[in-house]
Amino acid sequence: MDFPCLWLKLLLPLVAALDFNYHHQEGMEAFLKNVAQNYSSITHLHSIGKSVKGRHLWVLVVGRSPKEHRIGIPEFKYVANMHGDETVGRELLLHLIDHFVTSDGKDPEITNLINSTRIHIMPSMNPDGFEAVRKPDCYYSIGRENYNQYDLNRNFPDAFEYNNVSRQPETVAVMKWLNTETFVLSANLHGGALVASYPFDNGVPATGALYSRSLTPDDDVFQYLAHTYASRNPNMKKGDECKSKMNFPNGVTNGYSWYPLQGGMQDYNYIWGQCFEITLELSCCKYPREEKLPSFWNNNKASLIEYMKQVHLGVKGQVFDQNGNPLPHVIVEVQDRKHICPYRTNKYGEYYLLLLPGSYIINVTVPGHEPYLTKVIIPEKSQNFSALKKDILLPFRGKLDSIPASNPSCPMIPLYRNLPSHSAATKPSLFLFLVTLLHIFFKQ
């Protein structure tokens, strides 16, 4: 046996260090396949579909059980390159993958995240657009849209107005993907500004549009999530780094306050996917020069990791009947913050509710029975990489009525269109904003 060669192999990393260059489809695929092969115990590579031109939409899953969902382990995702000419996020996600697989077992924070979270990373949702860019530009390049010339971030069903566009293969693939996983938290990565933007992107008077904003029932959580990311990015938190753009106090904005957007992925995730998603604009220039990529990684690395940890906010658990059987498709909501499309347990009877510290009443609704209410107190100091665990045993006697697998009350139509303006959350709240900032300050 050649012992010097053996020792050399043991000392060398399993995957060659990822360079700071733009990786086209062939190079990206080679990197992802190499990672999946060499770190097979913590990664799983699969395609959720194909682009118009037949390019795979690759997703790399990182976790202790990457191929399947585990009870109590929340699902997190990052998606980049919806617009083919917005390139920084694509490269950052490749470097995030590289950092995770090479830090497992060495960095306690990364190891704990891998142990406690199933992480899905899609570096490019629009590979056709990326490959179509011939002359990179800071403001606009041919390649923003997909091959059929559709803007993928205007291509989803909209809860505020009819979005009668032809649904594209990339969009359909993502919509199906959302139905196969229990995603809890997400972010989509863009370029052309430097800001963390939170829902809603579209709006009606019922969500606060008359106040030039459009707020969700979970606005406190969304403000906290956006500030969590922006506050750790030294340039984003300044709010005025892109001199030709508008200023964003603390690097954060409500999407609708910035500009109304119809058919966006962010709102679709929250309303129909039960997944909290924000939009991260990471660079003033959409397609910056390659030599700037290391500084983008240095400025975003801490934010990317800290944001992922927020998937463990709030409370999680399973809902059981009196015989200990988990109940799927049961509505589990917090009183006074009901979603227009009610959040339900998954096929394992699990629920995940992202909440800031405080006292809440959880309302569990089963067809044919009175709502079951239970109190939960989210502590100020979150548990170690885990939301508060609270299983719910329903006290109902007799056999529970059959619970439908689908949700007929949530068709993909403008659900908010005829809703009266009634929510206090639609009004500007300085108190809420200050509470959110204080919570972030004391966690740092």
Task: Give the H or E element holding residue 307.
Answer: helix 293-309
Q: Which whole-number Å values give the CA distances from 163 to 24, 25, 159, 417, in the listed order?
A: 32, 31, 9, 13
Per DSSP, the three-state class of 4 is helix
DSSP 409: T
- Helices (H), ranges, 144-249: 169-180, 219-230
228-258: burial string, b at 16+ Cβ within 10 Å, e else: bbbbbbebbbbbebbeeeeebebbbbbbbbb
Rounded Cα–Cα distance for residues 41 and 35 (Å): 11
Phi/psi for 80 (5° steps) reads: -130, 170
How many other CB atoms are found less than 10 A from the CB of residue 426?
A: 23
Judge whether 342 and 217 are in contact, CB under 8 Å: no
75, 86, 170, 281: which one is catalytic? Answer: 281
* Tokens 């009668």, residue located: 164
Rounded Cα–Cα distance for residues 197 and 393 (Å): 38
For residue 280, give the nearest of 63, 79, 138, 415 by alpha carbon.
79
For residue 375, give the nearest of 386, 275, 388, 73 by alpha carbon.
388
Rounded Cα–Cα distance for residues 11 and 268 (Å): 46
Give 255's contacts (C-beta < 8 A, 6+ positions apart).
197, 198, 199, 200, 201, 214, 261, 264, 266, 267, 279
Judge whether 190 and 89 are in contact, CB under 8 Å: yes
Active site residue 350: no
The CA-to-CA distance between both ends of the chain, in Å, stands at 52
Rounded Cα–Cα distance for residues 301 and 107 (Å): 14
Ordered strands of the 183-190 beta sheet:
43-50, 56-62, 118-122, 75-80, 183-190, 276-283, 193-198, 252-254
Which residues are identified as catalytic? Answer: 281
